[in-house]
Amino acid sequence: MQIGCYWFDNARRLLIDQSTATQWHLNDNEYWVLSQLVQHRGQVVPLSMLKTVVISGDSAQPLSHAELIKIIAKIISYLCQRHVDLIEYVPEQGVILYATVTTKRTKILELPNRLLSLGQYLFIIAILLSVLLFVYANLNLNPSQHAQADVLRQILTPNGRVIQLFVFAADNQQDALLHADCLASQLRQCHQVPWDSINIALSANQHYMSFILTDSSQMIPVANSIKVSIDNMSTPFITQEWLQKVHICG
């Protein structure tokens, strides 16, 4: 199986650099992770599957999250520079092995040992400031625009804070209602929510959901953005644990 400039020899558990003939022998855990990515190429392989190592009919051997991250980082380090983006870690969801490198993606949520350059940090900051200015301008100068949202909710949290929820889903009104109701229900259980406005955009065709979170109660408004990959848009996924991990709930 070809993986960038390397050949994965499944029978001998080898990763072979075809330009230098250098070979890497994969141990059981490395072989298990890479073989699962190859079998499900182009799909997000769940973390739970990768953490359950089953070799040659032996009983399952669990991997810790830290061990799995280390293995993924090691496999990525084997790849030549122009193919490192063939493997992507999706936080809290899984790992995907792409068939080809299509475009260079700047990813905010990366593996812990993959650092962003100064230029990338500045670019991210500029994008976030642009989003902040856009949202703040629309909240204050053109509030009627939110009337175009497919679903609007006002949510009262246990600490007495009112959160405005706007969901945009041009493709499917039913999915918009489903995720709005799910998020509203979970937010009402949060002890603290540091946001007063949450905007959600659903893209059923591209299987992702984008969140823009704002807090205009501060002297300088605060904003954050989240992008989540979703296999089935009709299945709710928001839980208390997830809200805390992405800092929507305090």
pTM of the predicted model over 0.85: no
Instruction: Classify each residue of 138-165 as buried b or exposed e, where b means 16 or more C-beta atoms within 10 Å of its C-beta.
Output: ebeeeeeeeeebbbebebebeeebebbb
Cα–Cα dist 250/242, whole Å: 11
Residue 1's pLDDT band (cuts 50, 70, 90): confident
pLDDT given at position 135: 62
Q: Which residue has the higher pLDDT, 51 or 113?
A: 51
Asked whether residue 47 carries a pLDDT value surpassing 50, the answer given is: yes
Cα–Cα dist 182/215, whole Å: 21
Tokens for 209, please give them: 């959901």
Sheet holding 222-229, edge to edge: 151-156, 162-168, 197-203, 208-215, 222-229
Beta partners for 2? 7
- Sorted by where each starts, the structural domains of the chain and their CATH numbers stand as 2-97 (1.10.10.10), 118-245 (no CATH)
Asked whether residue 112 carries a pLDDT value surpassing 80, the answer given is: no
CB-based contact 232:249 (threshold 8 Å): no
Mean pLDDT for 40-64 is 83
Q: Which residue has the higher pLDDT, 165 or 160?
A: 165
pLDDT given at position 243: 92
